[in-house]
Structure 1
Amino acid sequence: KLDSLTSLRVTPNFSWQNSRYTSFNQSQAFTTERQPLNASRSDYRASGHGLSGVGNALLMRKFRRDGRTLSLNWAAVLNRQDSRGFNQATNTVYPNGNARRTTFDQQSDQENFANIHTLTASYTEPLSFSKKLEVHAAFSTNGNTADRDVADFNEKSNAYDRPNAALSNRFGSRFNTERTGLTLQNRRLRYTYALGFDVQQASLRADNQSSDSLVTRRYFNLLPNALLSFNFGRNRSLRAQYRTRINAPSMSQLQPVANNTNPLNIQLGNPDLKPEFYNTVSLVYNQFSGNGAKSLFAALNLNQVPRRIVNATTVNAVGVQTTRPVNAEGYYATSGFLALGRPLTALRLNVNLTSNAALTRGVSFVNDQPNRSRSLSVGQGLSLASNFNGKLDFNVGGNLTYQTATYSLQAQQNTEFFTKTLNADLYYQLPWRFVLTSDVTYTANTGRSAGYNQNFALWNLGLAKQFFKNRQGELKLTVYDLLNQNRSLVWNVTDTYLEDVQSVVLRQYFLLSFTYNLRKFGV
């Protein structure tokens, strides 16, 4: 604190990363008649390092009059990432049914730098006992540069010394926003409402230095917001909120250079992208008993996004895809969540029911044709939990999820499948300060491609010994994946193809750890 009315808080954070990445991909594509379309084998290796710095400074000032405040906040993010990758691939295409094979061996050097600064100011003035007015302003600048140099392998010199201009690029972008607005808040005993209105000016500058082209755009947005909440006594509340915001395209979405890490699915950026505009409506109801034993929580969310950034994919005669982001209308998403909890006193149990549902409608483009999509997800969960004298805790439960996706183009990609999970967690304090822990999760899949409807159990088991007067120290031996069944199964549904992915994951291993808890600090 600078004085009794003024405070300053500065929060710095720095981090350094060093990473290595290796992937091997093998894929095949077929026509609807099961004739070969293309095939690919690629080996990609990369290593890199990065330095990040995040800083935040908050200055707050209270005035003699109750409710009058002034705050200034400055936030900065600096991030630099450098990497080098090697991509070796063999691609086979089948024009007219005849195989044609191409190979390449490339080195890519990537340098990314991000420089983000945000300055916000807020002033509140009480208008009456229950009303206050907030005046706020914000300025943000988001600058990014990306340099990508790709070279092909030269067998004569045995080095990567043949520059590939088509895959190399130097690109910079800057997105600036200036936002000012007012918010009127009225707080009563039973209800509170707030009405706000912001005016935002934004500018986007995309500089493709490799082709000596510059794109500048300016945007003007009106951003209303509203809040209404009711308190029905101490234990029941209802909250409704409407918010708007814009979301700038990322550097990878803007940079107009081909990314051929997957040679059969080439990614391109689009410097003509516009920011997304989000309209969000949320409704939350909360109810609980005086002792917290019974509870009811319900939430409903609706998102509508004009100018949403979606994929536009072009597929050539042999199935090679080129994808670039574009803006499109027609995206809606709604989701709901319901949770019920109550005790079963006679059995010393707590039962919890959870229900969730989500519906999304959107559009993408395939060979310049709109592909309208609809996805639905519905889930139901049940869990039982108990605590016996603080020495034995357990939780058992299950969840069933149904998912479906339909498309206006390529109806053969319409899908539906079920995922079922069962779980059991145990915490048991044994004599002599020993603790036994166990968690088991069983997963079953149906409706997927052959070989991917796999069922497996993941069981982690641990035994710990606690030390010192207040059990602040703990030596623990844990066996992860006791049954050695862990696996990763992912089903990706895209605009143009279905992809079943089975990844090699870390299976059974042992971990010995020691933990000491610092529970009290002197001043």
Structure 2
Amino acid sequence: MTDLYDQLDESLSNEYQSGYLTQAGNVGLRYRAGKLSAMLGVDAQWANLKGDLVYPQPDELSHKYFSLLPSFTLRYSVDRNNSFQLRYRSKSSSPSVTNLQNVIDNSNPLFLSTGNPNLDQQVSHTANLRYLRTTKSGQTFIAMVGATIQQDYVADSSFVAREDIALSPTVTLNKGSQFTRPVNLDGYYSLQSMLTYGFPVDFIRSNINLSLSANYANVPTIFDGIESRTRELNLIPKIIIGSNISKNLDFTASYSAGINKMFSSLDNTAGSDYVTHTAAAKLGWTFFWGLTFRSTFNYIGYTGLDTGTEDYFLWNLSLGKKFLKNNAAEIKIEAFDVLKQNQAFTHRTGSNYYDYVSSNVLQPYAMISFVYTIR
């Protein structure tokens, strides 16, 4: 009524403070013999997760953890051009403040959610094997495979209301709406792989890099009391052309396609397949009297999405002047989103749904900046 938004809704308000203190001691052993080198280490970590709920009702939580976090690195050099590296590491992480806050978020009346102050820390284990080959002519080949496992993964636990449910005096979960709460689950793992090959192209004084990566994730969830798996597969081919002309002229051009496939173990017939196309070009030129010109041009497009998402171009320009000793200072004027097409789109995989979100973004603007580089 007053247009001041000064009426506080206590059921949707929350003030929460959290702290995550870790202390660790490390012991390691390093070994080297000829072409072989290895390092083995382990961290003994003590962690304390504290949370203080200040409003609306004072409350506090305290969790203490002790973890042994090993790590291992093995490197073998076949010769000066070929080498292998095997690496394993483990680490712990605390839940986010949002996941710990026990307050209802009803910004989307069809998908209500809340936090869980009893969440435990997550421990992840990652291993990868890499092969690297380089030649005197400038060619590079890299092959990598890896895997990650997470213990006590923070997963979604959701259910659909069969009837209206009062979650608080002012918040009601309507029949057919979904309510989600984070819980700790085991069963998360991901697989990664990558191939990349780079080589020089002398007649345009540039380097070309070709790569292909594949990633697979298995995410545990709970829906209506049944534990399931949401699986995501990504294939990303990419090509990059980078110049090596001079320190005054530089350009880069690239294209990549993100091929995404997602599906749930609850319904193998339901999935979400789409492709993200990304092309980019960048030019940097320093010419007469220390004048600089820079331009970036990006194209983002989608195939297979039925969400009203449009392809768009993002073009930025910059003109500047370098001065002072060794051109340490530069003043420039920059123009962002010259074509007025900027967009923001994200995709999120839920326990039994796929969430496509388009957000408002900053419109075209210009900016004058001064940069001084200390060498």
Work out whether the TM-score is over 0.5: yes
Partner of 2:179: 322
Greater relative contact order: 1 or 2 (C-alpha under 8 angstroms, separation 6 or more)? 2
Is 1:505 aligned with 2:350? no
Matching of residue 485 in structure 1 with residue 341 in structure 2: yes
User: For 1:190-269, what aligned pairs fall within 5 Å after superposition?
Assistant: 190-200=35-45, 202=47, 219-269=65-115
2:264, 2:352 within 8 Å by CA — same for their partners in 1? no
Matched, 1:284 2:102: no
Mapped pair 1:495 → 2:351: yes
From 247, 252, 274, the equivalent of 1:417 is 274
What secondary structure is seen at the aligned counterpart in 1 of 2:327?
coil
Write the deviation string for residues 13-57 of structure 1: whole angstroms up to 9, x where unpaired: xxxxxxxxxxxxxxxxxxxxxxxxxxxxxxxx9xxxxxxxxxxxx
Q: 1:103-146 CA distances to partner (integer Å, 9 max, x unpaired)?
A: xxx85xxxxxxxxxxxxxxxxxxxxxxxxxxxxxxxxxxxxxxx
Q: 1:303 aligns with which of 115, 139, 148?
A: 148
Cα separation, 2, equivalents of 1:450 and 1:270: 32
Q: Which residue of 1 aligns with 2:302?
A: 445
- 3-state SS of paired residue (2:326): coil
Secondary structure at the counterpart of residue 28 of structure 2: strand
Residue among 213, 230, 233 paired with 1:373: 230
Distance, in Å, in 1 between the alignment partners of 2:359 and 2:217 is: 28
SS, match of residue 230 in structure 2 = strand
2:244 matches 1:387: yes
- Using a 3 Å threshold, how does the CA distance of structure 1 residues 494 and 231 change in structure 2: closer, same or farther? same
CA-CA distance at 1:464 after TM superposition: 2.3
How high is the sequence identity, in percent, across the aligned residues?
30
Which deviations, in whole Å up to 9, do the C-alpha atoms of 1:43-88 show, x marking residues without a partner?
xx9xxxxxxxxxxxxxxxxxxxxxxxxxxxxxxxxxxxxxxx96xx
1:183 Cα offset (Å): 1.9
Q: Per the alignment, do residues 259 and 472 of structure 1 end up closer, same or farther by CA in structure 2, a change over 3 Å counting?
A: same
Give the letter for the 1:185 counterpart. R
Are the counterparts in 1 of residues 272 and 354 from structure 2 also a CA contact under 8 Å? no
SS in 1 for 2:105: coil
- Corresponding letter in the other structure for 2:125: N
Question: Which residue of 445, 448, 465 corresponds with 2:321?
Answer: 465
CA contact (8 A) 2:151 2:185 kept: yes
CA distances 1:266-308 after superposition (whole Å, capped 9, x unpaired): 33222332222211112233332347x2222333321111221
Q: 1:402 to 1:204 in 2, by over 3 A?
A: same
Indicate how the Cα distance of structure 1 residues 350 and 329 shifts in structure 2: closer, same or farther if over 3 A, else same. same
Cα 1:241/1:264, change in 2 over 3 Å? same
Q: Which has the higher strand share?
A: 1
- Map of 1:185 onto structure 2: 30
Letter of the 1:419 counterpart: T
Gaps of 5+ in 1: 1-44, 46-84, 87-105, 108-150, 153-163
Residues 445 and 171 (structure 1), Cα distance of their counterparts in 2 relative to 1, 3 Å cut: closer
Question: For this pair of structures, how many residues does the alignment match?
Answer: 360
CA shift in 2, pair 1:174/1:189, >3 Å: same
Q: Deviations over 1:439-478 (max 9, x none)?
A: 21112211111421x2211111222233345333333222
The structure-2 alpha-carbon separation of the partners of 1:418 and 1:506, relative to structure 1 and needing over 3 Å to count, comes to same
Structure 1: how far apart are the matches of 2:226 and 2:124?
25
> What CA distance in whole angstroms lies between the structure 2 residues aligned with 1:506 and 1:214?
39
CA contact (8 A) 1:333 1:358 kept: yes
Cα deviation, 1:343-390, whole Å, max 9, x if unaligned, reads 122342311112211100121011212231110000111122223344
Q: Which amino acid aligns with 1:320?
A: S
Displacement, 1:332?
0.7
CA distance 1:287–1:319, change in 2 (3 Å): same
User: What amino acid is aligned across from residue 316 of structure 1 in structure 2?
Assistant: A
Separation of aligned partners in 2, 1:355 and 1:216: 45
8 Å Cα contact 2:207-2:244 kept in structure 1: no
CA contact (8 A) 2:332 2:369 kept: yes
Residues 1:509 and 1:170: Cα distance change in structure 2 (over 3 Å) = closer
**Distance (Å, rounded) in 2 between the aligned partners of 1:461 and 1:171:** 43
Return the offset for 1:405.
0.3
1:476 and 2:332 are equivalent in the alignment: yes
Structure 1 residue 407: Cα displacement: 0.5
Which amino acid is 2:128 matched to? Answer: S
> When the two structures are superposed, what TM-score results if normalisation uses the length of structure 1?
0.61
From 332, 336, 339, the counterpart of 2:193: 336
Cα 1:227–1:484, aligned 2, differ >3 Å: closer, same or farther?
A: same
367 and 344 in structure 1: CA distance in 2 versus 1, 3 angstrom threshold: same
The answer to whether the 8 Å contact 2:293/2:319 transfers is yes
CA RMSD of aligned residues (A): 3.1
TM-score, structure 2 normalization: 0.83
How do 1:265-276 and structure 2 match up within 5 A? Answer: 265-276=111-122
Indicate conservation of the 8 Å contact 1:413/1:497, yes or no: no
Amino acid paired to 1:488:
A
Q: Which moved more, 1:299-308 or 1:200-209?
A: 200-209
Unaligned runs of 5+ in 2: 163-174
Q: Deviations over 1:387-439 (max 9, x none)?
A: 33444322222111100101022557510001112222222333343332222
Deviates further, 349-358 or 226-235: 226-235
